[in-house]
Each structure stands twice: as C-alpha cells, then as structure tokens.
Amino acid sequence: GGVRGTPVMPPYPTPLPVRAQVLATEWIEGEQLARSPPEVINRLIATGVDCFISQLLDVGFFHSDPHPGNLLVDARGRLVLIDFGLCAEIAAFDTRHLTSAIVNLMRGDVEGLVDDAITLRFLPPDVDREALLPPLRRVFEQGRLAAATQASESLGGGGRRRGGGRAAEYSAVASKRRQFAAISRDLNQIFFDFPFAVPEYFALITRALIVLEGIALTGDK
C-alpha cells in the first residue's frame, strides 16, 4: 500500500543494519515528477497534495523536504516519495484545530478563524480582536466577491464564447490577477500590523505545498 490513505508509494526500509541516525531504504527507479510529461504531472499532482494534507491533518507526521528530486514517478506510473531524512511531527491537538481552521475558512467564519489562530499559536491570546476583525472581514468579503464574479463568468461561458475572442480572455485573466494582488496586499498589511507568527511545522508543510504548486505550474505550460 501507499502512504496512509493515498496511492503514493514510499521506499520501504531494508533489513540492512541501521542506527538512530541512519535509515536504509530500498532503491526505487523513477523519473522526477517535475520532468514528466504534462499529462502525468496533471494526473499526479492532486495525489501529491492529498498525500501532504493527509500527513498534516490525519497522520500528524510528515515528510518535510519535498523538493522536486524527492518526488518521482515509477515504471507503473505511481507517485513515489523518497528521502525521509527530514520529517516533522504535529500534535493531535494541532491537527484537530487545523481542521477546524479549514472549516471556518471555507465558511467565512472570521471570528472562529481568529480563535483557531490563537489556539494554534499564530496569534497571541491578547491580540486586539476589535482592531483585527474589521480589516480581516473586508479581505474575506473581497475574496467572496472575486469568487462570485469568477463563478458568474464561468457560467456565462467565458470571454471567447461571448464573442470577445483572445483579447477578452487576456483581459479576464488580467482582471483576476489584479483582484488577487489587491487581496494579497490587504492581507499582507494585516500580517504586518498584527503580531502574527508561523509555527515551524506550518512553515514546513507550506513549503511542501509550494513545491507541489511549482510542479503543477510546470504541467500547465
């Protein structure tokens, strides 16, 4: 079987003698996912994301060094995760509250999200909630409106179907980028104005997802 709950294959330990500082595993032949054909990348990237989210929210122990050289595709077309020399552990308490934070994020529950951020040590308990909540709500409202606009355009068939051609498509993409940039600026300002901190485990898992995003963009070219 693969990594818990996902079809991702790890190299299994060998019977060779090991020490506390050395882990010997089987050798796996494969091509780097980042160098694979776009159709292979597009097929496996969601599997990789599922794998790391499962490690974060379910297993509580995750691979912390997922650079492109550690993500392979084997001869059977399976995603292989190698080199477990750097791993990190997350307490069950934190995995539960990360799940709660994701639910509150999807619901747009800003107050609940701030509660989770305090519990998860992203914010100190004495943060000025009355000052933080209004700008945070504005950012969420911007995101909601941007998502609603995008959904409406998708239902309408997009720029080309409405007769706008390629120029309309480029204009739509540019508009989405401006919306995202505006939301990012406001969110960055909030992070600057308030005492946010990033726990070590979250920085590591974020790095993993950024690597996967970079590989996914390679598949879109």
Q: Are 71 and 48 in contact (CB under 8 A)?
A: yes
When pLDDT is cut at 50, 70 and 90, the band that residue 72 belongs to is very high
Q: Which residue has the tokens 């379910």?
A: 58
User: Considering the chain, what percentage of its residues have pLDDT values greater than 90?
Assistant: 22
Residue 31 has pLDDT above 90, yes or no: yes
Both tokens of 156, joined, read 């309408």
Arithmetic mean of pLDDT, 158-174: 54
**pLDDT tens-digit profile of 92-111?**
888 888 889 888 888 889 99
Q: Which residue has the tokens 């609603």?
A: 148
pLDDT of residue 150: 64
Q: Are 172 and 158 in contact (CB under 8 A)?
A: yes
pLDDT of residue 173: 55
Angstrom distance (rounded) from CA 35 to CA 60:
30
Where b means 16+ CB within 10 Å and e means fewer, 3-28 reads beebebbbbeeeeeeeeeeeeeeeeb
Q: Which of 50, 65, 83, 186 is catalytic?
A: 65
Active site residue 109: no
Closest CA to 140 of 174, 111, 162: 111
Q: pLDDT averaged over the chain?
A: 80
Could you state, in order of their start, the residue ranges of all structural domains in the chain?
8-89, 128-194
Arithmetic mean of pLDDT, 158-177: 55
Q: Are 136 and 110 in contact (CB under 8 A)?
A: yes
pTM of the predicted protein model: 0.65
Of residues 8 and 116, the one with the higher pLDDT is 116
User: Considering the chain, what percentage of its residues have pLDDT values greater than 70?
Assistant: 77
pLDDT of residue 116: 93
Arithmetic mean of pLDDT, 141-168: 62
What stretches of 156-193 show up as alpha helix (H) in DSSP?
A: 158-161, 165-193
